[in-house]
Structure 1
Amino acid sequence: MDLQGIGAVSAAAVTLFGIPAALVVGRWQLRAALRASEETARAGLAQADASYRAALDAVRAQGHVEHAQWRRGVQRDAYAAFLQSVLSYHDCATNLEPSAEEAEMRSRTAELKPLKADMSHKGWVVRLEGPEEVSSAARDLQVSAEVLAVVMRGHVLRMSAIARITERAHTHAQEVTRVWELIPCAQGFWHTIGTAEMEDSSTEVLEELRRLFARLELSQGLIPTICDSSSESPSLDLPSFDEAINAFLRAARSALHPQ
């Protein structure tokens, strides 16, 4: 074989040995490229997931904020509506003049019923909305308003009854004088009426008062109005109306604007 042939055979041999090496290198390069692609894909997915979760958290946070604002708005409206109904009831109960005629007094008393029902309804809404501190303050305020209405009505009726008796002094001076003598006595034993503690002398006083009121042409229903003073100071462990309304305002502000 000549030198040219030997060179050709050698070149062919080198070429045959070079093919596997190229294949190995190519395979390594392919694997490296695949790994890089996978890492890039995982990094992309992780970044996308992080972005998604961040966006989702932001939406949730915004939703919580908006829900809290809406909730406070609902509570504020409920508190304000209840407070307005209490004030309307209070104004109606306290604006009755002692000199009012009996028909007017009955009419004003009738006006209290729908106002009381409205106050009760809106009070239940406050109790449903809560929180407990506001609910408790609302109950105390409602009861205080109702007690005040009872006291004011009793006071007006009593003043009106006294005025009617006093008017009769011009024509029945002796009878009126005797009525004023008996009333303090009747007030002293009034709580014993209908009980075993009531004495015979008390019955005699009541009978005389009834006869005197008949002579004065006055309703005998005015006797308990003047003699029964229990409505003036009800035995309830409650704050005054002003104290109750201030307590409700403090509880409402604390609930709407927590620190």
Structure 2
Amino acid sequence: MQTEAIAALAASGAAVLGVPAALIVGVRQARAAHHAAEVTAHATHDQARKAARREAAVVFVLAAESALDECMRMYESKEPIEIYSADIEKRVLGDTSRAFTVMRIEGPEELAQKAKKVMLALSELTLRGARRQRTAHAWHHLKQAAESSDVISAALGELTEVSGPDDPRVRAAWQAVAGTGVLAPGMEHTLRTHLRVGSHPLLIKSTGMLDAREEVRETLAAFIDAVRRHLDEKTP
């Protein structure tokens, strides 16, 4: 009888002699329940983590789009850069930078790297926009002054007729403008650097603003695609 009982226990998977079968079953059930609880806990943790990453990504995208809009509003403005600098700093250096920091913390590294490319593109756009805006402001100021100054009007006329930036008349024209005191030294330097002389009418050289805008859009689209792929994955 005892041999038959041992054989029955062995056949049922009980390897411990003298341990009640009900206890063996209870231990197995407890282990199964513990494993199920761990799986549920991991799944809940993964869902919470992805929810946090989704929220961080949404905040980052909204901040980046707002910064892009702010830069483009500055693009054609003829107002002093100081009027826009506070908003630009808030959007690019403030809101977007904070959202980027959260992305770096939440991870994963792939998304953080994609977000970094957006930040670099936004920084480049900001620099080009500021350069374009400073030139536009100085140019607008000088054209207004030409309406009441024959000296400036004549100097601008010379700048449209020169053969190129190395033409001796370019230097003479800018010296005439400087002699009027209409432009601050910084504004004059900006115009001498970024005004396309020898064209009629005089035009501002391209700062690559539109290309920089496309770079922001492309890197932002790549970031959004990466976020979608990550959220669709079964593992974090």
State TM-score, norm by structure 1.
0.68
Pick from 215, 224, 229 the counterpart of residue 180 of structure 2: 215
Name the aligned partner's letter for residue 56 of structure 2. A
Residue in 2 that maps onto 1:241? 216
Please tell me whether the aligned partners of residues 100 and 160 of structure 1 are also in contact (alpha carbons under 8 angstroms).
yes
Report how far residue 246 of structure 1 moved.
Answer: 0.4
Paired residue for 1:228? 193
Q: Which residue of 2 aligns with 1:61?
A: 39
RMSD: 3.6
Distance (whole Å) between structure 2 residues aligned to residue 184 and residue 149 of structure 1: 33
**Do the aligned partners of 2:121 and 2:219 also contact (CA within 8 Å) in 1?**
yes
Q: Counterpart in 2 of 1:83? A: 61
Residue type of the alignment partner of 1:92 = E
Any conservation in 2 of the 1:78–1:126 contact (CA below 8 Å)?
yes
Amino acid paired to 2:215: S
142-151 vs 160-169, which deviates more?
160-169
Of Structure 1 and Structure 2, the greater helix share is in 1
Q: Distance in 1 between matches of 2:100 and 2:161?
A: 41
Instruction: Work out which of the two has the higher radius of gyration on C-alpha atoms and give 1 or 2.
Output: 1
Q: 1:86-101 residue pairs with structure 2 within 5 A? A: 86-96=64-74, 98-101=76-79
Cα 1:134–1:92 shift into 2, 3 Å: same
Structure 2 residue 84 is matched with structure 1 residue 108: yes
Alpha-carbon distance change, 181 to 44 in structure 1, aligned in 2, over 3 angstroms: farther
Partner AA of 2:32 in structure 1: A
Change (3 A) 1:247 1:228: farther
How many residue pairs get aligned? The number is 215
Identity level (%): 21
1:32/1:232 Cα in 2 relative to 1: closer, same or farther (>3 Å)?
closer
Q: Which amino acid aligns with 1:258?
A: E
Matched with 1:52 is 30
Contact kept, 8 Å, 2:146 with 2:153, in 1: the verdict is: yes
Write out per-residue CA displacement over residues 89-108 of structure 1, whole angstroms, 9 at most, x where no aligned residue: 22222223645433xx3132
Residue number in structure 2 paired with 1:160: 137
1:127 aligns with one of 92, 98, 104: 104
Measured in 1, the distance between the counterparts of 2:78 and 2:186 equals 17
Structure 1: any 5+ residue segments left out of the alignment? 1-28, 190-200
Query: What is the CA-CA distance between 1:122 and the residue it aligns to?
Result: 2.0
For residues 183-222 of structure 1, what are the alpha-carbon distances to aligned partners after superposition, in whole Å with 9 as ceiling and x for unaligned? 898x957xxxxxxxxxxx98x9557514423326222322
